[in-house]
């Protein structure tokens, strides 16, 4: 169990450990996020700008004012929509530079902020590529996490939402029948996963075996290759001397955030 002091430190960077999460009623809302970021198109836009685009401009094409407000709230819960927050600012950075990585980038951010989605990762990771995943088994898994918390109807919809998110991220494929597949890791997604591990206090080689790196769905060697590519593109700083690895994020971490990291360590 993560200590409360560490959780408090991580919330400053945008991680969330609140009980529950959006996945009890929604997926990671990838299409809505794509539309919203395309519509707003300003990396310096604040949360109020995003809410105005959703609620006033109806940029997501929702039918009612209530649905617009709920959508805005859910998107903020999943991603913060606040560029002063490290995780969201870094998400925007890689979102622009690595379009192919967007499904994994969204998953990585949502995973760091939604405890229901986070708890399902071990279930997904337990399956090998090509294996069939039954929704009923996922329902049992969710129920076993907190027995009696969800009604049968909520268990079913939560399992459907979780399966849909893992499908959008590339970890599953299929509609009615879900089959374990391999997500497409990219340099931007790898760099973002390494940043999440770094903010969590990991350094060196351990960054490549973190829970965030595991979401990339590829080997450690492949993650290192992707990190090297991200470094060559100037997105992160990656150095390797023999077995010693150093990864730094000069473009992504402010002076204030570096101070928080020093306090944390």
User: pLDDT of 203-243, one tens digit each?
Assistant: 999 999 999 999 999 999 999 999 999 999 999 999 999 88
Q: Mean of the pLDDT values across residues 148-163?
A: 94
Same domain, 191 and 248: yes
Last residue of one domain, picked from the residues 180, 208, 227: 180
Same domain, 107 and 11: yes
- Range(s) of the domain holding residue 219: 187-264
Same domain, 196 and 219: yes
Last residue of one domain, picked from the residues 128, 157, 180: 180
Same domain, 162 and 226: no
Measured in residues, the chain has a length of 265
Same domain, 197 and 166: no
Res 127 pLDDT > 90: yes
* pLDDT on residue 6: 81
CATH of the domain at 232: 1.10.10
Same domain, 99 and 25: yes
pLDDT grade for 131, boundaries at 50, 70 and 90: very high
* pLDDT on residue 60: 98
In the chain, the number of structural domains is: 3
Same domain, 105 and 119: no
Last residue of one domain, picked from the residues 128, 163, 180: 180
Same domain, 175 and 199: no
Q: Mean of the pLDDT values across residues 261-265?
A: 83
Same domain, 246 and 197: yes
Same domain, 15 and 88: yes
Res 111 pLDDT > 70: yes
Tell me how far apart the alpha carbons of residues 253 and 100 are, in angstroms, rounded to a whole number: 23
Residue 77: which of 103, 42, 116, 105 has the closest Cα? Answer: 116
Residue 40: which of 77, 18, 8, 72 has the closest Cα? Answer: 72
Res 157 pLDDT > 60: yes
CA dihedral sign, ordered 84, 4, 112, 186: positive
Same domain, 63 and 107: yes
Helices (H) and strands (E) in the chain, counts: 13, 5
With contact defined as beta carbons under 8 Å apart, do 213 and 197 qualify? yes
Q: Mean of the pLDDT values across residues 173-178?
A: 92
Res 151 pLDDT > 70: yes
What are the structure tokens assigned to 111, written together? Answer: 């995973």
Residue 162: which of 186, 145, 184 has the closest Cα? Answer: 145
Same domain, 18 and 82: yes
């Amino acid at each position: 169990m993560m200590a409360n002091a560490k959780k408090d430190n991580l919330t400053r960077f945008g991680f969330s450990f609140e009980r529950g999460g959006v996945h009890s009623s929604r997926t990671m809302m990838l299409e809505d996020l794509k539309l919203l970021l395309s519509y707003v198109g300003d990396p310096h836009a604040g949360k109020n700008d995003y809410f105005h685009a959703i609620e006033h401009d109806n940029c997501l094409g929702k039918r009612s004012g209530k649905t617009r407000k709920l959508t805005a709230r859910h998107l903020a819960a999943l991603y913060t929509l606040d560029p002063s927050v490290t995780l969201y600012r870094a998400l925007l950075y890689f979102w622009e530079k690595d379009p192919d990585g967007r499904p994994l980038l969204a998953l990585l951010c949502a995973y760091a902020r939604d405890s229901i989605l986070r708890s399902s990762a071990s279930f997904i990771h337990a399956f090998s590529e090509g294996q069939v995943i039954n929704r009923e088994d996922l329902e049992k898994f969710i129920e076993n996490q907190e027995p009696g918390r969800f009604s049968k109807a909520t268990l079913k919809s939560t399992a459907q939402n979780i399966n849909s998110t893992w499908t959008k991220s590339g970890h599953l494929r299929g509609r009615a029948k879900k089959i374990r597949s391999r997500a497409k890791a990219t340099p931007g997604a790898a760099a973002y996963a390494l940043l999440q591990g770094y903010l969590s206090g990991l350094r060196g080689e351990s960054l490549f075996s973190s829970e965030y790196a595991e979401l990339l769905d590829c080997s450690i060697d492949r993650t290192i290759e992707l990190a090297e590519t991200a470094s060559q593109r100037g997105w992160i700083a990656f150095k390797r001397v023999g077995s010693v690895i150093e990864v730094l994020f000069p473009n992504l971490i402010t002076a204030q955030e570096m101070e928080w990291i020093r306090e944390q360590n």
